[in-house]
Amino acid sequence: MAEELKITASSKEEKYLELLPQIRSVVEGETDMIANMANVASMLHETFGFWWTGFYRVSPPTPEGGLLLGPFQGSLACTRIKKGKGVCGTAWEREETVIVPDVDAFPGHIACSSLSRSEIVVPVWKDGFIVAVLDIDSKELATFDETDKRYLEEVVKML
Ligand code: SME
């Protein structure tokens, strides 16, 4: 298992290409999803210097459940989000990754931090159901694009 994160690349795509095998080596020997989410949040956060990087889990794991704050890196965040609410609840309801270039232009955005300017939310699938979402916030506008979507969707498959 990799003991220490080692990223030397400078471009976004190259960083993901260096990061993905390191994430794989950390999570592949562990079946506990919360432990793996904790390390994935840390590795993404450290590599890219995002403002907030973390998971909300569907809890209880039923259609009536809501999103409950899980492992994250960054400042204090709201604890529970209902289906269809905010960017996280929207990605869960639509069952797809949502990229928001400007959170002020997203109706219903939940502002956990006034410094957050753009956001990406990626659903985490397990056995045909969404069990969590990966939420990443940036202090810059339009940080996230199709490259992030592609690689982050690969990352959450490893959980
Ligand atoms: N902004 C998110 C809420 C979570 S925090 O950003 C950590 C949303 O609108 O779903």
Residue 1 domain flag: no
- Looking at residue 67, its pLDDT comes to 97
Identify whether 2 is part of a domain: no
* Predicted local distance difference test score (pLDDT) of residue 63: 76
Pairing of strands 98-100, 118-126: antiparallel
Q: Which residue has the tokens 């690969």?
A: 154
Please list the pLDDT of the chain residue by residue as tens digits (159 residues).
Answer: 557 899 998 899 999 999 999 999 999 989 999 999 999 999 999 999 999 999 999 999 877 899 999 999 999 999 999 999 999 999 999 999 999 999 999 999 998 888 999 999 999 999 999 999 999 999 999 999 999 999 999 999 999
Q: How many domains does the chain have?
A: 1
Among 48, 44, 41, 53, residue whose Cα is nearest residue 10 = 48
Residue 90 sits in a domain of what CATH number?
3.30.450.40
For CA atoms 74, 76, 80, 84, give the dihedral sign.
Answer: negative
| Other CB atoms within 10 Å distance of the CB of residue 50 | 23
Is the CB of 110 within 6 Å of ligand 1? yes
- pLDDT at position 1 is 53
- Given a contact cutoff of 8 angstroms between Cβ atoms, the answer to whether 135 and 85 are in contact is no
Instruction: Give the burial class of 119: count Cβ atoms within 10 A of its Cβ; 0-12 exposed, 13-18 middle, 19 or more buried.
Output: buried
| Residue 7 within any structural domain of the chain | no
Task: For ligand 1, pick from 56, 87, 104, 116 the residue to mutate: most ligand atoms within 8 Å of CB.
Answer: 87
Residue 133 lies in a domain: yes
Say if residue 71 is preceded by a cis peptide, omega within 30 of 0.
no
137 lines ligand 1 (CB under 6 A): yes
Domain encompassing residue 106 = 12-157
4 lies in some domain: no
Measured in Å, residue 29 CA sits from the centre of ligand 1 at: 30
Q: List all residues 6 or more positions away from 127 whose beta carbon is below 8 Å from its beta carbon.
A: none
Residue 5 lies in a domain: no
Question: Residue-wise over 91-113: b if at least 16 C-beta within 10 A, else e?
Answer: bbeeeebbbbbebeebeebbebb
Ligand 1 proximity of 124 Cβ (cutoff 6 Å): no
At 119 the three-state DSSP class reads strand
Q: Is residue 86 part of a domain?
A: yes
3 domain-assigned = no
